[in-house]
């Protein structure tokens, strides 16, 4: 055994910038009582707060952990400015004092960056799940407060699955009875479930992924059929308020009821945008039916042409949005390979996240309108009722469509162009 090498107390701490994720190295503070210290990043110039929690008893600095998320042995609870632990903030790459909008923006950026469909790295699926779990807590004011104070907060009953989570992003629970479940949430849930099954079975090969994949065509057709059946039933029940009424002012009363509903619905995430899309579809289908009752059905033919033109335009717009997003991902991947850091990389990531959200919305809108066209066709061609009832349904549908289309946004929160 040779002569032992004399060691010395560590002078430097290694961390990761909360914003640009650059690796940082800085001197340990002289004070042993320091819990949090602001550090300016050499790359993006932004300041991150790190919990250093120096462990004097063991003669080591616990902050060498790159997440900076260890619980402090000295504090019983944290505050909004100094959380007990910062792991979830570190996962999203935001400061503990970040605003809700900053957290949401960063989530979209990271979710798009690590989505398994776009990112083929081995740990992308696990990272995607961590990002989603962290966002579910930090985006909820009550859960965020509990996490800041006590650490390790978790929603009651566990984390929300992606199907529920993405429903909240586009319309929330209030729109489910009108548009059903948007498929993007189900698709993401399948990705995570398959990934978990592959990991449990120890089969991460491409063959394993194909084997675990469900029969998408048959399954999707059945899910859509059930969705349309349910929405048809819901819409018929809603229209019956007008159809079954014998009051002379039934049109005015029905319109007032729908206006109250629309004012409530527009407060949901993407509420105004969804109401406009639903309203356009309802109005067009109602006008098609009512126009068909006129001589030679020429007005109906005009509305059919308008529908075909709208579908074509929306499809092209969605495809362009998807291609634009794909190109942005390529630019981002190229920039990462070239070692781009700092503000330029942040701008590129933010632009990609914005395009990703736009693509998600356009795809969801195209899906919703397609489903509702089928729903309206079935409601207005129901062989079980008389033509008089069908006409009244069309009149009521036209009223709903007009009200929805004319809903005004109180504030331009979302940019969906």
The model's pLDDT over 129-171, given as tens digits with 9 standing for 90+, comes to 888 888 888 988 888 887 887 776 555 555 555 556 666 667 6
Among residues 134, 150, 166, the one where a domain terminates is 150
371 and 253 within one domain? yes
Which one of 28-42, 166-180, 232-246 scores highest in mean pLDDT? 232-246
Q: Give the C-alpha separation, 293 to 298, whole Å.
A: 10
- 274 and 400 part of one domain: yes
Asked if residue 394 is part of any domain, the answer here is yes
Section 107-124 average pLDDT: 78
Query: Is 51 among the domain residues?
Result: yes
175 is a domain residue: no
Say if 2 falls within a structural domain.
no
132 and 270, same domain (yes or no): no
Q: Report yes or no on 159 lying in a domain.
A: no
pLDDT band at 62 (very low <50, low <70, confident <90, very high): very low
Does residue 174 fall inside a structural domain? no
The pLDDT, as a whole number, for residue 147 is 84
**377-387 average pLDDT score:** 95
Q: Is residue 91 part of a domain?
A: yes
* CATH number of the domain where residue 103 is located: 1.10.287.110
The helix (run of H) or strand (run of E) holding residue 347 is: helix 342-379
Residue 271 sits in the same domain as residue 384: yes
Number of domains the chain contains: 2
Return the pLDDT at 331. Answer: 80
Same domain? 231 vs 144: no
pLDDT at 385 over 90: yes
- Are residues 23 and 132 located together in one domain of the fold? yes
Q: Are residues 393 and 254 in the same domain?
A: yes
Q: Is residue 3 part of a domain?
A: no
Stretch 272-291: mean pLDDT: 93
Residue 68 to residue 51: CA distance in whole angstroms: 6
Say what the pLDDT of residue 72 is: 40
Question: Where does a domain end: 135, 150, 165?
Answer: 150
Buried b (16+ CB within 10 A) or exposed e, 222-243: eebeebbeebbebbbebbeebb
- The pLDDT value recorded for residue 374 is 95
Give the residue numbers spanning the domain of 278.
Answer: 227-405
Query: Is the same domain home to 121 and 237?
Result: no
Contacts of 205 (CB under 8 A, 6+ apart): none
Assign 351 a pLDDT band (cuts: 50, 70, 90): confident
Task: Determine the Cα–Cα distance for residues 150 and 80; give it in Å rounded to an integer.
Answer: 11
Match 């007032």 to its residue by tokens: 256
C-alpha neighbours within 13 Å on the C-beta side of residue 363: 17
> Same structural domain for residues 233 and 138?
no
Name which of 54, 97, 56, 50 is nearest 69 in CA terms: 50
With a cut of 60, say whether residue 205 has pLDDT above it.
no
Mean pLDDT for 377-390 is 95
Better-scored residue on pLDDT, 285 or 359: 285
Q: Is there a single domain that holds both residue 137 and residue 278?
A: no
Question: If you average pLDDT over each of 293-307, 359-373, 391-405, which comes out highest?
Answer: 391-405
Q: Is 153 helix (H, G, I), strand (E, B) or coil?
A: coil
Task: Say which residue, 130 or 62, is predicted with more confidence.
Answer: 130
Whether 234 and 144 map to the same domain: the answer is no
Q: Is the per-residue pLDDT at 57 higher than 80? A: no
Which position has the higher pLDDT, 57 or 408? Answer: 408
Last residue of a domain, one of 126, 150, 174: 150
Mean pLDDT of 376-397: 96
- Tell me, what's the pLDDT at 55? 35
pLDDT at 356: 74
Greater pLDDT, 12 or 348: 348
The least confident of 29-38, 88-97, 253-262, 363-372 is 29-38
One domain for residues 235 and 359: yes
- If we measure between CA atoms, which residue out of 104, 105, 144, 112 comes closest to residue 128? 112
pLDDT at 377: 95
């Amino acid at each position: 055994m040779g002569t032992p090498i004399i060691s010395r107390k560590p002078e430097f701490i290694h961390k990761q910038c909360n914003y640009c994720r650059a690796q940082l190295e800085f001197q340990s503070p002289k004070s042993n009582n320091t819990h949090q210290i602001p550090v300016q990043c050499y790359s993006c110039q932004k300041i991150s707060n790190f919990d250093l929690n120096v462990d004097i008893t063991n003669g080591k600095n616990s902050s060498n952990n790159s997440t900076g998320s260890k619980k402090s042995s000295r504090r019983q609870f944290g505050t909004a400015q100094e959380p007990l632990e910062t792991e979830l903030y570190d996962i999203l790459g935001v400061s503990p004092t970040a605003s809700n909008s900053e957290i949401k923006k960063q989530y979209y950026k990271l979710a798009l960056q690590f989505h398994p469909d776009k990112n083929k790295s081995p740990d992308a699926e696990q990272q995607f799940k961590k990002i989603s779990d962290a966002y579910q807590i930090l985006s909820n004011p009550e859960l965020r407060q509990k996490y800041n104070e006590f650490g390790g907060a978790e929603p009651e009953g566990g984390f929300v699955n992606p199907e529920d989570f993405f429903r909240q992003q586009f319309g929330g629970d209030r729109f489910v009875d009108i548009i059903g479940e948007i498929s993007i949430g189900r698709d993401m849930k399948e990705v995570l479930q398959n990934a978990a099954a592959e990991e449990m079975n120890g089969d991460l090969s491409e063959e394993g992924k194909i084997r675990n994949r469900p029969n998408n065509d048959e399954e999707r057709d059945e899910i859509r059929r059930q969705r349309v059946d349910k929405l048809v039933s819901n819409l018929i029940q809603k229209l019956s308020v007008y159809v079954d009424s014998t009051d002379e002012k039934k049109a005015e009363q029905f319109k007032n009821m729908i206006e109250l509903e629309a004012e409530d619905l527009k407060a949901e995430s993407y509420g105004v945008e969804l109401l406009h899309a639903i309203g356009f579809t309802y109005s067009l289908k109602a006008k098609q039916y009512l126009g068909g009752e006129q001589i030679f059905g020429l007005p109906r033919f005009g509305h059919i042409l308008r529908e075909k033109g709208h579908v074509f335009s929306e499809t092209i717009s969605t495809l362009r949005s998807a291609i634009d997003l794909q190109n942005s991902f390529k630019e981002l991947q190229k920039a990462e390979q070239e070692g781009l850091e700092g503000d330029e990389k942040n701008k590129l990531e933010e632009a990609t996240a914005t395009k990703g959200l736009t693509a998600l919305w356009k795809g969801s809108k195209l899906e919703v309108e397609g489903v509702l066209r089928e729903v309206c066709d079935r409601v207005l061609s129901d062989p079980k009722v008389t033509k008089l009832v069908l006409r009244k349904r069309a009149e009521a549908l036209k009223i709903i469509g007009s009200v929805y289309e004319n809903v005004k946004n109180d504030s331009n929160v979302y940019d969906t162009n």
